[in-house]
Structure formats: C-alpha cells, structure tokens
Copies of this chain bind each other. A is one copy, B any other.
C-alpha cells in the first residue's frame, strides 16, 4: 500500500519561515527525529517514505503561505485517532500552523463509513420534505424531568422536526439520564401520535467513556430518534463508533462544545470547513452544529459559508451532512439565512422558543418561516 494522503497547512510568516515550518512538519508529524540521525534509522530501508513530503508551497495572502504536505496512508493506521495525530498532533503545540484541508486517497477513505444517514437518509428518517429542517433544544439545565419532557411535548406538537437535549444535560441528579430520556422519548411519541408527524428526539449521549455505549443503547431502546454528541469532549472516534454501531443505528448531531480553541485564531488550529465539515463527516455525524454568523458568537459569514460548503463537498463514498447553524433564527433574518443555506440545512433554535407566552405557538411560528402555507 504505497498511497499517500495530503494535508494543506496555512503557515504564518515569510516564504523562508514557511518553508522551514513545512520541513519541520515533515519530520515532527512522522519520524520525529533530527534529520541527522544515522541512516540505519532513516535510510534506504524506509526510503524517505515515512517522512512528510512537501508537494508545494504557495503564497496565501500577506504574511501567510499554504503548504501541501503528503504523508504515507499507512501512517494513519486507518484510525481516526492516529489520523488526527499525523495531521495535527505535535505541531498543534507550535504557533503559526493551521490545518486548511485534508485530502485522502480512496484506499484510506475506504476504511471509514462516515455518517450512517447523511442528508438524504435523515430526510427519509424524519419523513421531511425538501425544506429547511427545524431543531429545538431542551433547556435550561436545572429543570426537572417532567418539566423537560413537557417542553419536548410542546415542541413536537408545535411542529419541530428534531428536538435535542441541551448539550449540558447529562446525568445530573435533578434530571438523571435514563428517566429523562425515557420521559422525553415518550412525550415526543405521544405528540407524534397526535400530529401524525415524525418528530425525532435526540438525547445527549456525551458521557464517561465506560458509560457511552450503555447510554446510547438505552436511548435507542427508549425510542430516541437520534443522538447528540460533543466529539471534542468525548472523542471524535467515539462518535465514529456510535455511528458505526449497527444495533444503535441512529442519526447523530455533532455539538461544538469545547472545540472552540481549534478555530478562535486564524494562525493555529483548523479551518472552519475542515473542522466542522470534513472532520465531522469522517467521524460519522449526520449534522454539524456551529454558531451562526450574526449571533452571539463570532463566526463570520464567510466562515459559515465555508462550513456549509464542506458539509457537501465531494468526499468519495462519505455522504453529505447537514450544516446546523445555531442561534439567530428570527423573522428578520429568514431571507438572509435562506440565501446562505438554502433548503439543505437544520436550523437550531434555542432560548428563542422560551421567550414567548407559548412554546407551541413559538414552534408553529418558526415552522411557518421555513414552510410558508
């Protein structure tokens, strides 16, 4: 297997500095030894195969360059954990290096299944026609199980397509996981019987490593229609494991909790598209939650467009997924958001559902925004 995969890095600095950084990446991310170690460790036997190869370096704006560096496919061990390690392990600690994009050969990509549902699968799962989908959030944390289940019922009656736990709902004493998930799943099922629709409840299964599978299986048995998972907290490969589990077999929304430092600075971390689009798809998410532009977070319109594009960019057999912008879904912004995201989007509505007099009416209002009569 002599294929290589390619990472495009954005390197801050002059062309000399960029070349030095690129050469450093070639060693640091692979053999991680000085270039002057004896040939028996890095000689003909390995060829120069293991070391990263600089395929090109080009200027990319003032004081920045983009370097294409290739690595042996087999260095990834065909695992998400080790693939991430080769892409951005040690060099995450060095300033002025950012992952712009990743390109995998088919021989490497074939080891990953990606999302189980993807865009088309999730529409079918939710029996939802070709319009923006609406996702509500069960919060605030601190509510009791009956209160949360009551909200879930109202949101489902009001016409939301998906209802997810707040990412901060875990297994707290005031609303323990099993009782809460059971009650919410039942509340949504009851609402579906009344409405004839197929609203799906996505409990948060982000959990301690030794409880993750049991919570996900419990959710499935209780009637959940999907799962919420925060991969930066629980591990990207743990999300992949959930997606690949044929017994659980539920769609997954990926939440960005704890991942922010990867994108808060332009000169380190990941590009928005690669992190929220490419990586979530590789790790099995069917929808990628991120803070929409113009809301209470700081993502720009361009960064959100990059995420939108990356959720559907060609990626071999890996399905396109939904961008899932959060916040800012108001009447005043509908035209702007339609233009930005089109129909293939899941809009996330949070506290906005709680500020009116009636949650049911608020949901109906939002539903009309995406499905005019």
Contact = CB atoms under 8 A, between A and B. Distances in A.
A83 to B, nearest CB: 10
A85 B234 CA distance: 10
A88 B262 CA distance: 13
Interface string A67-110: 00000001101011110111011111111000000000000000
A350 B256 CA distance: 35
B140 A234 contact: no
B168 A82 contact: yes
Contact of A208 (B74, B207, B240): B240
B92 A261 contact: yes
B80 A33 contact: no
A79 B208 contact: yes
A350 B32 contact: yes
Contact of A46 (B49, B142, B258, B264): B142
Interface stretch (A3-11, A171-179, A364-372): A171-179
Interface stretch (A37-45, A113-121, A123-131, A155-163): A37-45
A281 interface: no
Q: Which of A37, A93, A208: most chain B CB closer than 10 A?
A: A93
A50 interface: yes
Contacts of A265: 261, 264-265, 268
A141 interface: yes
A203 to B, nearest CB: 14
A350 B74 contact: no
SS of A interface (majority)? loop
B94 A297 contact: yes
Q: Which of A172, A208, A350: most chain B CB closer than 10 A?
A: A208
A349 B33 CA distance: 11
Contacts of A232: 92
B354 A33 contact: yes
Q: Which of A91, A235, A261: most chain B CB closer than 10 A?
A: A261
Contacts of A354: 33, 37-38, 41
A260 interface: yes
Interface string A255-296: 011111111110011000000000000000000000100001
Interface in A1-34: 1, 24, 28-34
Contacts of A74: 172-174
Contacts of A38: 354-355
Contacts of A248: none
A93 B259 contact: yes
B261 A36 contact: no
25 contacts: A30-B141, A31-B141, A33-B139, A37-B351, A38-B354, A38-B355, A41-B354, A74-B172, A77-B170, A79-B170, A79-B207, A81-B170, A81-B208, A85-B168, A85-B258, A92-B258, A93-B259, A93-B298, A94-B298, A209-B235, A209-B240, A209-B241, A235-B238, A261-B269, A265-B268
Given A32-B141, A208-B240, 9 more contacts: A29-B168, A33-B351, A46-B140, A50-B142, A89-B257, A90-B257, A92-B257, A92-B264, A93-B263
Q: Give the 7 A-B CB pairs with smallest separation, nearest first.
A: A92-B260, A31-B140, A93-B260, A33-B351, A50-B142, A89-B257, A235-B235
